[in-house]
Structure 1
Amino acid sequence: MKMTIVTDAHGNVLGAVQGHNLSETRDGVEATVSFAPGHSTHMIEVDDDLCAIDDVDEFQQRLRRHLQQHQQQP
């Protein structure tokens, strides 16, 4: 599953959204998600079962693990 993970300037995970599209147009209105300077977005593939996790700590832990794996790739 595609997911966009947002981190702050220190690499802390702030949140995540499913997919890689941070804008949408509907009925002639466009909405775009943007972040403060120093924040980064990481568009990565994660396990499909990640969206079914109810435990916040486990979700954060899995996000960090995927992000670390993604950053280690050449």
Structure 2
Amino acid sequence: MKMTIVTDVHGNVLGAVQGHNLTESKDGVEATVSFSTGHATHMIEVDDDLATVDDIDEFQQRLRRHLQQHQQQQP
């Protein structure tokens, strides 16, 4: 599953949005998710079952793990 993870200037995970598209249009209305300067977005693939995790601590732990794996793969 595609997910966009948002981090602050210290690398702390602030949140995540399912998908890589941060703009949505419906019935002539367009909304865009944006973040303050210094925040970074990381567009990565995560386990499909992450969308079903109900425990916030487990969710954040798994987000951090996926983010670390993604960053290790970057040159």
TM-score, normalised relative to structure 1:
0.96
**Secondary structure class of the residue paired with 1:68:** helix
Counterpart AA for 1:51: A
Corresponding residue number in structure 1 for 2:32: 32
**Secondary structure class of the residue paired with 2:65:** helix
Aligned partners of 1:28, 1:56: CA distance in 2, in Å?
Answer: 34
Unaligned residue ranges in structure 1 (runs of 5+): none
How far 1:27 sits from its partner (Å)?
A: 1.4
Unaligned residue ranges in structure 2 (runs of 5+): none
Q: What is the identity percentage for the equivalent residue pairs of Structure 1 and Structure 2? A: 85
Paired residues, number: 74
Aligned partners of 1:24, 1:55: CA distance in 2, in Å?
Answer: 27
Report runs of 4+ in structure 1 exceeding 6 Å deviation. none
Corresponding residue number in structure 1 for 2:69: 69
Corresponding residue number in structure 1 for 2:47: 47
Aligned partners of 2:44, 2:72: CA distance in 1, in Å?
Answer: 12
Aligned partners of 2:10, 2:4: CA distance in 1, in Å?
Answer: 17
Corresponding residue number in structure 2 for 1:58: 58
How far 1:70 sits from its partner (Å)?
A: 0.2
Corresponding residue number in structure 2 for 1:23: 23
